[in-house]
């Protein structure tokens, strides 16, 4: 009598099903961690912009506002942020003109159709108020 060696088809199918179940559970969690990491990168860059704004206020007596604000602050955002968010700096009233008293709001708006859309818009004001999707805090 000869002993059979190897795995039966049923055993292989059971292993494949188990691996598929583990992947189905793990992949969404992995995607969630990637989204949180991208959000954290955007938040760090927003804080860097706020630091530069404070220095610009001391030097120029106003905040850098509008489409050229990042250039005026000599800031180049990393690709990991610009690929997922559009970062803008406006006056606190939402316009692109300096306001009196001096104020600003840094906004990071998720790119349409990207994974960050469910996070909503991130904002940081000159007073340090942080919001995410209109809710207080990040």
Q: Domains in the chain, please, with CATH?
A: 10-136 (3.30.540.20)
Compute CA distances 12 → 3, 4, 20, whole Å: 19, 15, 12
> Averaged over 1-28, what is the pLDDT?
91
The alpha carbon dihedral of 36, 42, 46, 47 has a sign of: positive
Residue 53, H or E segment: helix 9-60
The encoded tokens of residue 122 equal 């991130």
Q: Per residue in 32-85, pLDDT tens?
A: 999 999 999 999 999 999 999 999 999 988 899 999 999 999 999 999 999 999
Q: How confident is the model at residue 99 (pLDDT cuts 50, 70, 90)?
A: low
**Structure confidence at residue 131 (pLDDT):** 97
pTM, whole model, 2 decimals? 0.82
How many CB atoms sit inside 10 A of residue 81's CB? 19
């Amino acid at each position: 009598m000869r002993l059979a060696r190897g795995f039966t088809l049923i055993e292989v199918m059971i292993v494949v099903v188990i691996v598929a179940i583990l992947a189905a559970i793990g992949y969404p969690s992995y995607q969630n961690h990637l989204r949180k990491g991208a959000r954290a990168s955007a938040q760090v860059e927003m804080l860097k912009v706020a630091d530069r704004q404070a220095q610009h206020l001391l030097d120029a007596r106003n905040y850098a506002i509008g489409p050229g604000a990042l250039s005026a602050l000599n800031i180049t955002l990393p690709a990991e942020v610009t690929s997922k968010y559009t970062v803008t700096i406006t006056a606190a009233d939402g316009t692109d003109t300096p306001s009196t008293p001096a104020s600003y709001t840094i906004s990071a708006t998720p790119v349409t159709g990207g994974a960050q859309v469910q996070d909503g818009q991130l904002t940081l004001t000159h007073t340090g108020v942080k919001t995410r999707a209109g809710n207080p805090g990040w």
